[in-house]
Amino acid sequence: MNVLVTGGAGYIGSHIVKMLLEDNNHVITLDNLSKGHREAVVGGEFIKGDLNNIQELKNIIQTKKIEGVIHLAADSLVGESMQNPEKYYRNNVCNGLNLLAAMQDCGVDKLVFSSTAAVYGEPEKVPIAEDHPTRPTNTYGDSKLFFEKIMHRYHQIHGLKYVSLRYFNAAGADLSGKIGEAHNPETHLIPIVLQKALGQRDNLAIFGDDYATADGSCVRDYIHVSDLASAHGLALKALQQGKEKAIYNLGNGEGYSVKEVIETAREVTGLPIEAKIADRRAGDPAVLIASSVKIKEELHWEPKYPELEKIISSAWQWHRKGGFSENG
Ligand code: UFG
């Protein structure tokens, strides 16, 4: 299949591109490299470009004979989304509309969309299933939920076929050691813990130890990035086989606290990794755990690396090697 991956030079996108290539697809990565890395795209064709240019999108879809699209290009920092909402609505919603317009114009009707657990907001109960109320508590979550609603209407009105994948906490790195997580600035827990282990940062803060959880720190559902990638492959195949639309959560259904993550990282690295308790971070729910029963049942998705230890050791292999050479 000829697949366009927007945001394919990013952390999750690059793992999806690698998986699609291994599955014998012809892959065209479109990325403006505002946050992605050219080196992260391990094969296929690469185009540096932006979703704000509909004509360019149409040219790519036509000349490359695109049959399906995986759309990841987006801004994705919760904190930033509450300081600069326009950036999030413009990039994640308006630019997404450009992609839909170009697809429609060129007769491409299959879309896999990168969504987030942030669409749920503060959970009423865990594990969170797809029919849980969606009440985002930040602009990032809004922007992804708006796009889900847009896809739903385009399905009804224009016949768009789509799968929206709501990720919980993506972590880890491809076992080849060639690609992994390299955000700048880094805000995610596991890379920060490993940077502290490597002496690349002075402080590691546990944001709050007074939550209503077993050890007082926040609980999250970590999912290996390669397991996320495989779900995109299955979603695309389901659309090819006639699936009309679906929304799926992606997590392991298992929660780990911030303290447990740090403790596991100590075991994996054999290093002390000192951490200090700090204030809560605004907007953090105490517990986020996915129910991924639906995607297991309907698409037969099975995570290969559900264990936290495996997730952290794959990330450790990547961070210890020094990430991409372009950013050290
Ligand atoms: N944390 C710390 N110290 C740090 C960094 C994080 O204690 O230095 C804590 C956070 O407070 C949180 C947990 O570690 O409790 C995980 O934090 P991350 O920033 O790694 O991930 P989040 O759960 O905040 O964010 C993830 C995705 C977002 C998505 C969000 C949905 O990365 O894209 O889930 O709620 F929006």
Q: What are the DSSP E strand ranges found in 258-324? A: 276-278
CA separation for the pair 229, 164 (Å, rounded):
13
List the one residue out of 262, 277, 274 whose CA is nearest residue 208: 277
Nearest CA to ligand 1 atom 5: 189
- Rounded Cα–Cα distance for residues 172 and 223 (Å): 8
CB 70 within 8 A of CB 3: yes
One-letter amino acid of 144:
K
Structure tokens at 56: 């360019």
Element holding 249 (H helix, E strand): strand 245-250
Residues with CB under 6 A from ligand 1: 76, 78, 116-118, 140, 169, 187-189, 192, 205-207, 218, 220, 258, 281, 284, 288
Rounded to an integer, what distance in angstroms lies between the CA atom of residue 192 and that of residue 205?
Answer: 9
**C-alpha dihedral over 153, 157, 159, 160, to 10 degrees?**
-30
- What's the angle, vertex CA 313, arms to CA 309 and CA 319, rounded to 5? 145
- Token pair in block for residue 1: 């299949």
What is the pTM for the complete model shown?
0.97
Share of the chain above pLDDT 70, in %: 99
Distance CA 79, CA 281 (A): 9
The mean of the pLDDT values for the chain is 97
SS (H, E, C) 47-79: EECCCCCHHHHHHHHHHCCCCEEEECCCCCCHH
Output phi, psi for 251, to 5 deg: -155, -175
- Round to whole Å and give the CA distance between 173 and 180: 4
Query: Which pLDDT score, from 0 to 100, does residue 328 have?
Result: 35
For 208-255, how does the pLDDT look when each residue is reduced to its tens digit (9 = 90+)? 999 999 999 999 999 999 999 999 999 999 999 999 999 999 999 999
Residue 300 CA, ligand 1 centroid: distance in Å:
28
CA of 256 from ligand 1 middle (Å) equals 12
> Whose C-alpha lies nearest to ligand 1, atom 6?
189
Please tell me the distance between residue 189's alpha carbon and the centre of ligand 1 in angstroms.
Answer: 6
Ligand 1, atom 36: nearest CA belongs to which residue?
118
pLDDT at 326: 56
| Range in 43-57, 76-90, 255-269, 314-328 with the lowest mean pLDDT | 314-328
Query: Is 262 in contact with 191 (CB distance < 8 Å)?
Result: no
- The ligand 1 atom at the shortest distance from the C-alpha of residue 187 is 19
Q: Kindly name the residue from 11, 88, 120, 140 that is annotated as catalytic.
A: 140
Q: Give the position, in ligand 1's atom list, of the atom nearest the Cα of 168.
A: 34
Predicted pLDDT at 283: 83
Ligand 1 atom at minimal distance to the Cα of residue 77: 33
Average pLDDT over residues 286-301: 97
Output the CA 188–ligand 1 centroid distance in Å: 6
Among candidates 51, 54, 44, 39, which has minimal Cα distance to 9?
39
The pLDDT of residue 325 = 74
pLDDT in tens, 12-32: 999 999 999 999 999 999 999
Please write the tens of the pLDDT for every residue from 158-195: 999 999 999 999 999 999 999 999 998 999 999 999 99
211 assigned to active site: no
Residue having the nearest C-alpha atom to atom 21 of ligand 1: 188
Q: Residue whose CA is closest, atom 1 of ligand 1?
A: 189
Distance between Cα 52 and ligand 1 center (Å): 29
187 CA → ligand 1 middle, Å: 7
At residue 263 the predicted structure's pLDDT band, cuts being 50, 70 and 90, is very high
C-alpha count within 13 angstroms, C-beta hemisphere, residue 22? 13
Q: Which pLDDT does position 323 carry in this prediction? A: 87
Q: Which of 200-204, 231-235, 252-256, 281-285 has the lowest mean pLDDT?
A: 281-285
**Which atom of ligand 1 lies at the shortest distance from residue 206's CA?**
7
Ligand 1: residue whose CA is nearest its atom 27:
169
Residue indicated by tokens 């402080």 = 203
Residue pLDDT, tens place only, 83-139: 999 999 999 999 999 999 999 999 999 999 999 999 999 999 999 999 999 999 999
Ligand 1 atom closest to Cα of residue 171: 20
Backbone torsions φ then ψ of 70, nearest 5 degrees: -115, 120
User: Of 192, 207, 222, which is best to mutate to test ligand 1, by the most ligand atoms within 8 angstroms of its C-beta?
Assistant: 207
Rounded Cα distance, 294 and 298, in Å: 6
Cβ atoms within 10 Å of 320's Cβ, excluding its own: 13
CA distance linking residue 204 with residue 41, whole number of Å: 31
